[in-house]
Amino acid sequence: MASSTPPHFVLVPLMSQSHLIPFTDMAKALAQRGLIVTLVMAPENATQFTTLLDEAKKSRLIIQFLEAKSTMGSEKNNRLPSQDLTPQFFDASNMMQEPLENWLQESEKAGSLPHCIVSDFCLPWTSDLSRKFGIPKLVFHTVSCFTLFCSHNIDVHKPYDRVESDSDPFLVPDVPDRILFTKAQLPTLGSFGSDQWTDIIGKFKSAEKSADGVIVNSFEEMEPAYIVGYKKQVKSMWCIGPLCLYNKTAPFHRGNKASIDEHEFLSWLNSKKEKSVIYVCFGSISRLCPKQLMELGLGLESSGSPFIWIIKKADCSPELENWFAKERFVERIEERGLIIRGWAPQVLILSHPAIGGFLTHCGWNSTLEGVSSGLPMITWPMFAEQFYNENFIVEVLKIGVKVGVEVPMQLEEEKAAVLVKRGDVEKAVKELMEGGEEGEKRRKRATELREMAKKAVEEGGSSFLNIMLLIEYIKQLKNKY
């Protein structure tokens, strides 16, 4: 390959909103350094992110899509009707292998193979393509180094074997902080616990070990001890986040199409005092049953704080809407609350001066967006690694208040239950938004983290430099393949 040819990276995300968004942000970050970036997308996902291509053209960035159709009826797992279908979802994602392999064969014939494959941790088959075509492969983690290091130590030492029940707490061994979990809160042992799931995770980890390095959506100043700990488990590692901060040009269009006019919610926010509003959102996958949503609404109402509450379309059930109408709930909270049904431009809202707190499901993207906006958080984890993120927010960063969830939420309606009462919500909101001396410490620490995050991605910052080091590493590695 001619030395004048810009490095070409192929990015292969999992077909999930929580994975697609940081991958598209990473595509921008790499293209801004002069790289050619190809994003492998299912057709439905590609349609959703066409704005990215438009922005790239305007900015003279080289980002392109390679559409690869899966065989599953739904191409994003935020539409899965049941957690039990997660293994099948991974099987469907594996169907992207053939179209990508065909594209690489054509590229090989043309003498234009890419320099690198950046694969989602959840797609182990990319290792086969890396070996077949002699292309370096990196694994991208959409979780924190805290999660990676803690889960590694739990896997190695199995401290859960020394407790009697799924609800008994145990300490994570050999980590810098006092971190407690229960067996029920661990994704591989709790909500997804099965031999099939254990086998899937084993394949993921095996593929990671064979990779040439690991990329993490985090930054060095936020979790230095955990970065050092996990670096010892992999060949090479670069923290290049928070990736959400590379999307400065159009935060309103990041992700799905918004369900509300930008001027409408900005006008509402502009009418509120600085740091007075709590933003409430549970991400694209997490589901709450109607009765739990009612309890949440009543708790927000009784807290006394202004709030923006995002209710995804899947949760806008007839039962909930009937309750809203019968109780005249929307009218009751009209002056103090704004309800958005569907998708909302979260990054744009979180950065508004009126927002003073974030009630979150503790997804890693949302956690980073909260950190990057300098916000203290109320933690309400649902499943997957979200109990890890809750511990990170509360026990390590010390910018969070737990709402009190002890076990994972259930997606299935018949299994769903009210786990958080209105009084729990009211108490957590008051503690976060009022909070006294402890509240001030949380807010000060959150502000400090925001400044660290901004500096990390600016020229000369740790994440900025890590992207440069990563690109140079791949250039040198490509010559050895």
pLDDT digits (tens, 9 = 90+) for 134-180: 999 999 999 999 999 999 999 999 999 999 999 999 999 999 999 99
Task: Tell me the pLDDT of the chain averaged across its residues.
Answer: 89
Fold annotation for 8-248+458-480:
Rossmann fold (3.40.50)
Q: Which CATH number fits domain 256-454: 3.40.50.2000, 3.40.50.300, 3.40.1800.10, 3.10.20.30?
A: 3.40.50.2000
Of 90 and 199, the structure prediction assigns the larger pLDDT to 199
The predicted pLDDT at position 146 comes to 98
Nearest by Cα to 121 from 147, 103, 142, 92: 142
Neighbours of 355 (CB within 10 A): 23
CA distance 423 to 310: 20
Instruction: Tell me if 8-248+458-480 shares its fold with 256-454.
Output: yes
In angstroms, how far is CA 331 from the centroid of its own chain?
34
Please determine, for residue 475, whether its predicted confidence score (pLDDT) is greater than 80.
yes
The predicted pLDDT at position 444 comes to 97
Report residue 384's pLDDT band, with 50, 70 and 90 as the boundaries: confident
The residue ranges of DSSP E strands in 29-144, in sequence order, are: 36-41, 62-67, 116-120, 137-141
Q: What is the DSSP letter of 139?
A: E
From residue 150, alpha-carbon distances to 203, 239, 291, 301, 354 in Å are: 19, 17, 34, 37, 35
* Mean pLDDT value across residues 8-13: 97
H or E segment to which residue 279 belongs: strand 277-281
Neighbours of 457 (CB within 10 A): 22
Q: Which two tokens stand for residue 203?
A: 């394949």
The predicted pLDDT at position 75 comes to 44
Nearest by Cα to 252 from 264, 242, 241, 240: 264
Nearest by Cα to 443 from 389, 411, 401, 481: 401
Query: Residues with Cβ < 8 Å from 437, sequence gap 6 or more?
Result: none
Domain ranges in the chain? 8-248+458-480, 256-454
Of 42 and 38, the structure prediction assigns the larger pLDDT to 38
Please determine, for residue 112, whether its predicted confidence score (pLDDT) is greater than 70.
yes
Q: What is the DSSP letter of 117?
A: E
CA distance 266 to 143: 31
The predicted pLDDT at position 228 comes to 97
Residues 395-452: tens digit of each pLDDT: 999 999 999 999 988 765 555 678 899 999 999 999 999 878 999 999 999 999 999 9
Is 404:420 a contact under the CB 8 Å cutoff? yes
The predicted pLDDT at position 188 comes to 67
The predicted pLDDT at position 16 comes to 87
Nearest by Cα to 446 from 428, 433, 427, 430: 433
- For the chain, how long is the longest CA-to-CA vector? 69
DSSP characters for 345-394?
Answer: -HHHHHTSTTEEEEEE---HHHHHHHHHTT--EEE---STTHHHHHHIII
Is 199:86 a contact under the CB 8 Å cutoff? no
The amino acid at residue 367 is T
Q: Hey, which of 28-32, 247-251, 287-291 has the most confident mean pLDDT?
A: 28-32
CA distance 383 to 389: 11
Query: Residues with Cβ < 8 Å from 198, sequence gap 6 or more?
Result: 188
Neighbours of 452 (CB within 10 A): 18
CA distance 259 to 246: 23
The predicted pLDDT at position 255 comes to 54
SS3 label, residue 398: coil
Strands 355-360 and 337-341: unpaired
Is 78:16 a contact under the CB 8 Å cutoff? yes
Query: Residues with Cβ < 8 Å from 105, sequence gap 6 or more?
Result: none
3-state helix, strand, coil in the chain (%, to 5): 50, 15, 35
SS3 label, residue 89: helix
Strands 169-171 and 180-182: antiparallel
Is 62:3 a contact under the CB 8 Å cutoff? no
Q: At what angle do helices 290-303 and 318-327 cross, to 10 degrees?
A: 40
Report residue 258's pLDDT band, with 50, 70 and 90 as the boundaries: low
Nearest by Cα to 449 from 147, 274, 222: 222
Q: Which two tokens stand for residue 412?
A: 């299935």
| Rg of the chain in Å (alpha carbons) | 22
CA distance 51 to 316: 27
Q: What is the phi/psi pair of residue 170, to 5°?
A: -140, 155
Residues 334-357: tens digit of each pLDDT: 989 999 999 899 999 999 999 999
The amino acid at residue 116 is C
Residues 70-79: tens digit of each pLDDT: 554 444 444 4
The amino acid at residue 323 is W
Please determine, for residue 80, whether its predicted confidence score (pLDDT) is greater than 60.
no
